[in-house]
Structure 1
Amino acid sequence: MGERDEPEVIGRRVQRLRSERGLTQRQLAEPTYTPAYISTLEAGRVRPSDEALRHLADRLGVDFSELATGRSARLVTDLRLRLTEAQRTLATGEAEEAARRYSALLAEAEPQGLTEVRATALLGLGECGIETGDLVSAREHFERAEACLAGHPLPARVPALRGRAVSHYLAGELRYAVYLLESTLDELNRGGLHDPDALLLLYASAIGPYMDMGAHARAAQAAEFALALAPQVADPALLARMHRSVARTLLAEGRVAEADASLVKAAELYRQLQIRTELANCHWMRGYVCAQNGDLERAEDELREALAMLSAKRAALYSSQVAVELADVLHRRGRSGEAADLLNGVLGDLSPERGAVHAAGAHRLLGIIAEDARDTEAAEEHYVRALSLLERAGAAGDLADLCRMLGDLLRRTGRVEAALDAYRTGLGHRTAPGTTTLGPAPAQPPL
């Protein structure tokens, strides 16, 4: 027996529909049931069987779902169809239009009590928030989606948990993001809930925070698990996202050709799906790979392509992050003035609560440019601001390197004691390979 309202609610509904159609209890009952049964049903003193509801629905000219739940099956189907349209709109990078569609669907689904439609709409609004850089709104929508699915198994709640983690990560709260991802992975694996889609989503999402925290070995392990899970996952968009995340880890290990191959696979999958924003992210990561491999001309081309695609779709936070990568390439190509203009233009879109790691990257690069111009005062100011942002985010790998740069600058300007303090701070933030501040890695999947 499927979902249905309480007997008294169904009884009142049957009575209302019968009266609207001008039928007597006998006319409604015949030939299968008695008028007394209809009277008892309308009074809410009997729970009708599916067979009885089908008979009544046929006599009243409504579908079974409408009689059992008060919701028209056609309405539910229409909402789900529009939901897929909103998902496709978001997938093609039109986040603001997708948010309007999701909001309308949420408003219609809530009074109908359609839990799954509500949860999917809330997840969509959360993804729209991430896309546009409204991280507070994104986190609120993911939290509401998680609450909506509170009675569902953990694998069904993973997209909401992962969304919360990503919103915290992009806000610069690396340790908390990793805590959410690792604790969910641990619960899934220790509980035997080996849902491939859920596990792949979590492992792929953990790679970025691990890398920014300097936990390269743990990032590499997450990438290996993600690659092992990939053949079990049917969602090409999820596979494409995984290939993009894995590429970053492969690059850290010096496996440039393999990283590029992963990005080619991701780009082809996204091209097939016409997912514009994710395709832009592939250009972004390919540009990063090329830059690390010394191919600066191609890196600039890839990053400019990513920036143009993301800017066209108003993905403000991602656009700003790509701009920082592009500025680094421009500086390395001897165009420091152009790089500085680009960095100063995007710093307004970044803050300690919104893209802290990339804001620190922007200040770090502006400090290097200032040093090259022998403006030590400006360089020190940028390094200190970058240091503050990285300390808040917990990005240990970048923080240690920045302390070294600040120490070198202070030493060259004759402030030896201050330089020693900076060096000591950097040493205190060095991270052992494969570790985070969160203790042992989560339980592993049975691969």
Structure 2
Amino acid sequence: MGVLLADSYCGTRLFQGAAAVTTSDLVGLRIKTMRRQRGLSQAQLAHPELSDSYVSLIESGKRTPTPAVLELLAQKLDCSLSYLLNGVTAEQMEDIELALGYARLALENGEVHEARTRYAELLADSNLTGLAAIRQDTEFGLALAAEACGDLDEAAGILKRLQGEELAPDRQVDVAVALCRVYRHSDMLSEAIAIGEEFLARSDRPAWSDGLVELGATLLQAYLYSGDLMRARQFSAEVLNAADMLGTLRATVAANWNAAVVAESTGHGEESLSFAERALAIQSENGPSRNSARIRVAVAAMMLRVRPGAVEEARQMLVRARQELAQTSAGALDRANTEVELARAEIISGNYHEAIRHGEAGQALMPSNARSLEAEAHLLVSRAHGALGDTERAEGSLRAVRDWLDPLPDSRRVASTWYAAAETAEFLGDTEGSVDAYQRALACAGL
């Protein structure tokens, strides 16, 4: 009997459920298959370093061999260590990693439809079955690509499925952030809040990190959109403390942006712009251009609300952001939002034809479930047509605003849009429609 090398008694679970398969099961099956293909008995494979009973335990999945034992068995079976571990050869693993790299690059470069296709093709590769971490990376990439293409429902479905698996701590945070964001963009504010709160309340959650601060910022936006200003103010302080403790770029940007949002929501407009501009300056100097463009759009939108006299400065920021977003992996929603804010800037400037052009461009880019933003786009187009004296088109766009808002649950954002719709109806001389919209705004605000 040979010398028995050290071993481990537990294997990593690859799939959840009653029929879960462990890494040990799959490694053992591959060793057994290769041994039989080579025409060897367990004793012949084991001799002289191992015992035949030990090889039997490995093949049955009852023992997880150490790296040294695996390397020895790979030599004896004349196959690669990669095959025994993952079920793929070294060449196949190289092809998979190369394909994943191309998909990531396409997403980073803004080629979102190509990225979506590449991720989907990679997931169809049966060789990913035993590569849990790589498969999860691929599914997460597909979710981000689907989100960028405007398919928020598909993105949410993939992310929910990933939440049900065992994930590395950093990936758990990434999935929670993305799912909270997708739900918020889909106007599913209760679901977005539940995702953020449940993750942050977990007893086994990781310590505060850049990712968790980003999750906190996403959750904070959902609180604000839902009108829960008290909870937003309380939670903002917690996120700010965490960001100060970390002191990293990502956390610092998030902290300043959180402070800006809360300051505006409590009526401190100039203070909010100061925080927002600081966040943009830090992000622009150090961070990815996609995130810089997103913040640039948000700062410009805040400027239009707080400092409408600076409309030309805001418009230039939006034009620059649109150019930046076109060169990154920004999704349809980011680009649609930029067009909507450009429409708002043009209305303030009195350029109504340009406002209509940007509003309709935003509508063309809009994901079907971004109902609040779609309603805002139609509202701006309605106002522009009304200012030009085209009452028929203005009323048609205003009817579309009501159609998009009707199915939405009550929230602060929806109340604000109903109020703006009421003002527009009043301007167009639609007294009955104006009264109805005012009543809807009050109901959404809980009054």
Does the pair score TM above 0.5? Answer: yes
- Cα offset for 1:300? 0.8
The reply to whether residue 361 of structure 1 matches residue 376 of structure 2 is: yes
Identity of aligned residues (%): 23
TM-score (norm 2): 0.77
Aligned to 1:428: 443
Q: Deviations over 1:383-430 (max 9, x none)?
A: 343234234333633443444455556667777666544433322222
Gaps of 5+ in 1: 433-447
- Please give the alpha-carbon distance, in whole angstroms, between the structure 1 residues aligned to 2:421 and 2:130: 57
Q: Distance in 2 between matches of 1:45 and 1:375?
A: 75
Q: Do 1:237 and 1:269's aligned partners in 2 also have CA atoms closer than 8 Å?
A: no
2:207 to 181, 195, 203: 195
Q: 2:401 aligns with which of 381, 386, 393?
A: 386
1:106 to 123, 145, 155: 123
> Is the counterpart of residue 157 in structure 1 residue 157 in structure 2?
no
Q: Cα distance, 1:177 vs. partner?
A: 2.6
1:343 correspondence with 2:359: yes
Query: Which of 6, 9, 24 is matched with 1:4 structurally?
Result: 24
Code of the aligned partner of 2:216 = Y
Cα pair distance change 1:61/1:164, threshold 3 Å: same
CA distance in 2, matches of 1:371, 1:65: 67
Deviation, structure 1 residue 183: 3.4
Change in 2 beyond 3 A, CA 1:363/1:260: same
Matched, 1:13 2:28: no
Counterpart in the other structure of 1:318: 334
- Please say which of residues 82-91 and 339-348 is displaced more in the overlay: 82-91
- What do the CA deviations read for 1:248-286 (whole angstroms, capped 9, x no partner)? 44444422111110121122232xxxx343232122123
> 1:118-145 deviations in whole A, cap 9, x for unaligned?
1111111111111121223322322332
- Specify the alignment match of 2:184 in structure 1: 169
> What amino acid is aligned across from residue 430 of structure 1 in structure 2?
A
Secondary structure, counterpart of 2:205 in structure 1:
coil
CA distance in 2, matches of 1:394, 1:381: 23
For residues 117-266 of structure 1, the aligned pairs below 5 Å read 117-147=134-164, 149=165, 151-152=166-167, 156-186=171-201, 188=202, 191=203, 193-197=205-209, 199-230=212-243, 247-252=260-265, 253-254=268-269, 255=271, 256-266=273-283
CA distance in 1, matches of 2:206, 2:248: 16
Relative to the length of structure 1, the TM-score reads 0.77
Q: CA deviation at 1:324?
A: 0.6
Q: How big is the shift at 1:205?
A: 1.6
1:47, distance to aligned residue in structure 2 (A): 4.7
1:181-202 per-position Cα deviation (integer Å, ceiling 9, x unaligned): 333334x2xx252432453232
- Report the CA distance between 1:358 and its aligned residue: 1.6
Task: Kindly provide the CA deviation profile for residues 24-50 of structure 1, in whole angstroms up to 9, marking residues without a partner as x.
Answer: 87775444346x659967985985753
- 1:297 alignment partner, SS class: helix
- Higher mean displacement: 250-259 or 129-138: 250-259
How many angstroms does 1:88 deviate by?
5.0
**Aligned-partner residue type, residue 195 of structure 2:** L
Partner SS for 1:5 = helix
Residues 1:412 and 1:299: Cα distance change in structure 2 (over 3 Å): closer
61-70 or 328-337, which deviates more: 61-70
What runs of 5+ residues in structure 2 fail to find an aligned partner? 1-7, 12-22
Contact 2:46 / 2:55 at 8 angstroms: preserved in 1?
no
Q: 2:293 aligns with which of 280, 286, 293?
A: 280
- Cα pair 2:280 2:292 within 8 Å, conserved: no
| Structure 2 Cα separation of the partners of residues 426 and 298 of structure 1 | 31
Work out the CA distance in 2 between the residues paired with 1:30 and 1:98: 49
| Equivalences, count | 418
- Partner secondary structure for residue 110 of structure 2: coil
In the alignment, the residues of structure 2 paired with residue 417 and residue 266 of structure 1 have an alpha-carbon distance, to the nearest angstrom, of: 47
Q: Which residue of 2 aligns with 1:269?
A: 286
Match of 1:293 among 307, 328, 332: 307
* Partner of residue 443, structure 1: none
2-side partners of 1:46 and 1:397: how far apart?
A: 57
**Cα–Cα, structure 1 residues 415 and 268, in superposed 2: closer, same or farther, change >3 Å?**
closer
Q: Could you say if the C-alpha distance between residues 129 and 194 of structure 1 is closer, same or farther in structure 2, counting changes exceeding 3 Å?
A: same
Aligned AA (1:99): R
Superposition deviation, residue 82 in structure 1: 5.6
Whether the aligned pair in 1 keeps the contact of 2:35 and 2:77 (CA below 8 Å) is no
**How many Å apart are 1:346 and its aligned residue?**
2.8
Which amino acid is 2:238 matched to? F
Structural mapping, 1:20-39, within 5 Å = 28-33=45-50
User: Residues 51-106 of structure 1, C-alpha deviation per residue, up to 9 Å, x if partnerless?
Assistant: 65443333334455533554457755774576466445433433234334433443
C-alpha RMSD over aligned residues: 3.9
Whole-angstrom CA distance in 1 between matches of 2:421 and 2:337: 23
Amino acid at match of 2:77: L
Matches within 5 A, 1:319-334: 319-334=335-350
Determine the C-alpha separation between the residues in 2 that align with 1:38 and 1:246.
Answer: 61
State the Cα distance separating 1:354 from its structure 2 match: 3.0
- Look up the equivalent residue of 2:131 and give its one-letter code: L
Distance 1:398 1:289 in 2: 14
Equivalent residues of 1:95, 1:128 under 8 A apart: yes
Judge conservation of contact 1:324–1:361 (CA < 8 Å) in 2: yes
Alpha-carbon shift at residue 297 of structure 1 (Å)? 1.5
SS at match of 1:196: coil
Higher relative contact order (CA 8 A, sep 6+): 1
- Give me the whole-angstrom Cα distance separating, in 2, the residues matched to 1:264 and 1:159: 25
Partner Cα separation in structure 2 for residue 232 and residue 85 of structure 1: 36
